[in-house]
Amino acid sequence: MTETSPQTRSTPPASAPGAPGPSGPTEAPPEAPAGGAAGGPAGTPSPSGLPAGAPGAPGSSGEILPDASGAPPETVPLTAEHLLTNRRSEPSGGWRRLVWLLSGRRFIPAESAAELERRTLIAQAQTPVARGHHRIAVMSLKGGVGKTTTTAALGNTLASLRGDRVIAIDANPDRGTLGLKVKSETAATIRTFLAEAPHIVRYADARAFTSQSPARLEILASDTDPAVSEAFDAEDYRTVAGLIERYYSICITDCGTGLLHGAMGATLELADQIVLVSLVAVDGANSAAATLDWLNAHGHAHLARNAIVVLNAVEPKTDVDLDLLERHFASRCRAVIRIPYDPHLKEGAEVDLARLRPTTRGAYLRLAAAAGQAFNQHPGRSH
């Protein structure tokens, strides 16, 4: 008897789809649905006509297929943080840290929403500076609103979180008090720094004129004699700013009150962003709004539009409608940050982040994060 060739054999092997079973022939497998996507039940034909997963079929040999929508699948980064289960951050406090300690430091509970938010804020504050140097001007039209304290607290927060150098300089035309916000390490001032400008050729030379806080913020203080500091003009500020740019990534300028004193023109000309400080009061709010009006009218609309407004020393109870005040400035600026009243800041002495209330530290972290969101931008300036 002649053997039937494989091409004409009528009975398929038992392992083939549709092969007869013990009780007779089985039904042919159903056709794949329209647009048939691979990855269905075993034996479902793929668009190539082969069962999904079969040799030669799409999806075999490690091929990754798009989902039904046509979008490529999400790729998980093969980093230590994703692959190693012991890389979850050590809890900083609260019940999570207690559980972690009681478990012999083996079990780390999942992070809360507040901790995840804090991690996000820290990442924003740590944003790399795109152009190598970033200038922040802290200003107010009205005195006594906490402008210098805001400069020191913002600078300390950024310096404590970042690995690069952060400096705050006092550009007050009158006797500035920024130097009081850190333990003094030198009698040098911004005036002596300017006088020695030709000899400052490396970071160590610049560091000799600054005092440093425990958080690593450096401060270049102003002269204590108002008559001397009055001579600090726009050209002087440009010279100091040019030197600072060589050795520091972030420079925070504590501006004087008012908008027309000598150094203010150069400060605004060189600033990448401004922080506008106001008390929660009718006159303070009007002064801050007038400052924005002036900036818009004098060629600094980009600074007004991207400004951060700080509502400073917010009391637990106030007759001022905080929500209305915040909505007003939020419609005109990039961000509005409330800084609560804190007894440590009321002292008017050195700013120590460790002595701030947790809610105050959290508020300054939000301010640092808001400032950090502009570090990787290339804002257009009016000059």
Q: What is the pLDDT of residues 336-369, one digit of tens each?
A: 999 999 999 999 999 999 999 999 999 999 999 9
Q: Residue 377, SS3?
A: coil
Closest CA to 182 of 353, 378, 361: 353
| Domain boundaries for CATH 3.40.50.300 within the chain | 128-372
What mean pLDDT is reported for the chain?
81
CATH class belonging to 128-372? alpha beta
Closest CA to 137 of 254, 235, 19: 254
pTM: 0.74
Per-residue pLDDT tens over the stretch 311-343: 999 999 999 999 999 999 999 999 999 999 999
At 34 the pLDDT is 42
At 27 the pLDDT is 45
- Beta pairing class for 218-220 and 211-212: antiparallel
Tell me the C-alpha to C-alpha distance, in Å, between residue 257 and each of 138, 263, 275, 277.
Answer: 10, 11, 13, 11
pLDDT beyond 70 at 19: no
- 33 against 83, higher pLDDT: 83
At 260 the pLDDT is 77
Dist. CA 284–CA 140, nearest whole Å? 9
At 282 the pLDDT is 93
